[in-house]
Amino acid sequence: MAQPLERQIIERARALIATPATWTQGEFARDASGERVSWRSRQAIRFCVWGALNRAAYDTTGDRRQSIALADHAARTLRNGATSLSGTNDRGTHDDVLAIFDSYLKQLP
């Protein structure tokens, strides 16, 4: 995957969870009532790291199959072999999750 597309997906995913009010734990996405919804749902307003990556990739490409592959690739890049994204999202803090994104983004020119 070209770095500009990967960066675009990661930046968009970070923007989706930029505040605690738009981030969630334990589900890929939630609606305004806090109920679980698909990350593809237009009612989704809160996302976990995986939901945000999938939604960002889907919003970027419009192709569900391609977006899942792109989100997986972006996740591998963020994880960089050491960090469990799900574990950090579900057992860590909002700041912990943002730090993963910010660490990646700081490395880029």
Residues 6+ away with beta carbon under 8 Å from 103: none
3-59, pLDDT tens digit by residue?
Answer: 689 999 999 999 999 999 999 999 999 999 999 999 999 999 999 999 999 999 999
Q: How is the chain split into domains, by residue range? A: 3-106
Question: What's this model's pTM, rounded to 2 decimal places?
Answer: 0.92
Which residue, among 8, 5, 43, has the nearest Cα to 27 in the 3D structure?
Answer: 43
pLDDT at 81: 58
Query: Residues 79-91, buried b or exposed e (16+ Cβ, 10 A)?
Result: beeebebeebbee
